Amino acid sequence: MDSMIQIMLIFISAAVVNNFVLAYFLGICPFLGVSKKTDTALNMGFATTFVMVLTAAISWLINNLILLKYNLPFLQNVTYIITIASLVQLVELFVRKSSPSLYRSLGIFLPLIVTNCAILGLALFSALREYTFVQSLFFGLGAGVGFTLALVIMAGIREELEFADVPESLKGAPITLLVAGMLALAFMGFAGLISA
Amino acid sequence: MIDQAFIVSVLTMGGLGLAFAACLAIASVKFRVEEDPIVEAVLEALPGTNCGACGFAGCHSLAVKMACKEVAVNACPVAGQEGADMIAKALGVEAVEALRDVAVVLCRGGDAESVKSASYRGDMTCASAVITGGEKDCSYSCLGYGDCVKVCCFDSMGMNANGMPEVFFDKCVGCGACVRACPRDIIEMHPEDKTLFVYCRNKDKGAAAKKVCKVSCIGCMLCKKDCEVPGGIKIENFLAVIDYELCPQDDVAIKRCPTKCILNGENVKMTSASFAAQNTLNK
């Protein structure tokens, strides 16, 4: 029972309280790049979540079965990066086959998931915190859900912003960054809800 | 004796790399997407530089649109007539005459014509100079540091002795890079058969415009009155604006212009050869 509560806490912590985008400021590039339309943002969020869960699983396996066993923790960064790169390639091939329209709307941001630091951050965090396999799976899922949440909220606000009377000098990037900052401030309200 | 950690590291990385490569190889066969042979044929005819002048994300996305006949075969301004013919052949449709877009610099206030009352010492680019306003008094004019010439990757622009950029009518491919580079939005793209232009962007009142430059549009309305089609030329913010849907491309409207800022056929004259000839003359 305790472990169940532990897993739930890890999930909620990664998704809301310590949101990767809004609390750790990881993965800002797609957060600003793909948050113009809600449905694209949602799909990007799903693709990233998928990569995150797979990364969490595979990086845990590599870390615990190979790296720690043979005393090679210094290879963590490199192995995680090739894991992520291969996974994203896989997702790209899959999306291209299964949904050409989604492939087009995500455009360059799909292969750019490789360089999304939130994913490398996820793998490194879960190694650092010595999660069990199931825990790191839920950590990955939580991080993905949190990323999707941030993206969709941002996209919703930006869609409304299209109709807002924004001062001339703040149009475009400045107002987007201001909104992102306010969103991060709002998410700080969750701070202290769960420790760690 | 090689360190054991070294061997283990190499083996681990190599093994992981191989494992991932194998997974990807299997996936790439399994999720293989057959490319439309027509799209490939069209792509062959396109320049493949992904310059974006057609308005699409790159050559591939234009090729897809062309293959399903949503856009005309001459939509690529860089491929030109030759490319359009090849694409038409690949698609099995009638060839269309390609009309390219050509860049026009809509300012003639060079060193000789414009009034300068400031000196600029800084990064010699228009993008930097525009922050302080540059040397010239006119706040709509060409800054003269040649950002447009620098970005032109087809060698179809040059700075003349008067400190103004010139577009070579024969060499411009219409990619629009110079339009994007100009911080003052002086350069515009127009179809090559358009020859009548107002070479000024000054929106100040006549007296103010005249004070800062000899060849500014002062909004005197003479071209508007002389234009053969009513409404062909309008005056907006003390600046003549040509309506290309209506206005005839001839010499009637430009005859009485006091500052000679509306001209016909000026853009067609400058070719790379004439520019080179002029430059050697000045040297």
User: Is the pLDDT confidence value at B251 over 60?
Assistant: yes
Instruction: Please answer yes or no on whether B13 and A75 come within 8 Å at the CB atom.
Output: yes
Residue of B12, B36, B65 to mutate when probing chain A, most A C-beta within 10 A:
B12
User: Is the pLDDT confidence value at B82 over 70?
Assistant: yes
Residue A196 contacts B, CB cutoff 8 Å = no
Across A112-120, average pLDDT? 87
Q: Which residues neighbour B34 within 8 Å (Cβ) at sequence distance 6 or greater? A: none
Q: What is the pLDDT of residues B47-72, one digit of tens each?
A: 887 777 777 878 888 888 888 877 77
Across A92-108, average pLDDT? 80
Chain B residues within 8 A of A71 when measuring between CB atoms:
5
User: Is the pLDDT confidence value at A105 over 80?
Assistant: no
Domains observed in chain B: 37-91 (1.10.15.40), 100-193+266-283 (3.30.70.20), 196-264 (3.30.70)
Residue B29 contacts A, CB cutoff 8 Å = no
What's the one-letter identity of residue A159? E
Instruction: Please answer yes or no on whether B13 and A78 come within 8 Å at the CB atom.
Output: yes
Residue B8 contacts A, CB cutoff 8 Å = yes
B282 pLDDT band, cuts 50/70/90, is: low
A61 pLDDT band, cuts 50/70/90, is: very high
pLDDT of residue A141: 95
Q: Taking CB atoms and an 8 Å cut-off, how many pairs form between chains A and B?
A: 47
pLDDT of residue A181: 92
> Which is more confidently placed, B181 or B154?
B181
pLDDT of residue B95: 63
Q: What is the pLDDT of residues A128-187, one digit of tens each?
A: 998 999 999 999 999 999 999 999 999 999 998 888 888 888 888 899 999 999 999 998
Q: In Å, how far is A160's CA from the nearest CA of chain B?
A: 26
User: Considering only A81-90, A133-142, B260-269, which range has the smallest mean pLDDT?
Assistant: B260-269
Residue A99 contacts B, CB cutoff 8 Å = no
pLDDT of residue B281: 63
pLDDT of residue B26: 92
| Domain boundaries along the sequence of chain A | 35-188
pLDDT of residue A195: 63
d(CA B70, CA B62): 10
User: Is the pLDDT confidence value at A196 over 60?
Assistant: no
User: Considering only A117-126, B9-18, B82-91, which range has the smallest mean pLDDT?
Assistant: B82-91
Please say whether the beta carbons of A37 and A157 come within 8 A.
no
User: Considering only A15-19, B5-9, B187-191, which range has the smallest mean pLDDT?
Assistant: B5-9
Chain A residues within 8 A of B17 when measuring between CB atoms:
82
Q: Which one of A71, A86, A96 has the shortest CB-CB distance to B24?
A: A86
Residue of A80, A81, A82, A106 to mutate when probing chain B, most B C-beta within 10 A:
A82
B142 pLDDT band, cuts 50/70/90, is: very high
ipTM, two decimals, is: 0.74
Q: What is the DSSP string of chain A?
A: -HHHHHHHHHHHIIIIIT-TTTTT--SHHHHHHS-SSHHHHHHHHHHHHHHHHHHHHHHHHIIIIIITTTT-GGGHHHHHHHHHHHHHHHHHHHHHHH-HHHHHHHGGGTGGGGG-HHHHHHHHHHHHTT--HHHHHHHHHHHHHHHHHHHHHHHHHHHHHTTS---GGGTTHHHHHHHHHHHHHHHGGGTTSS--
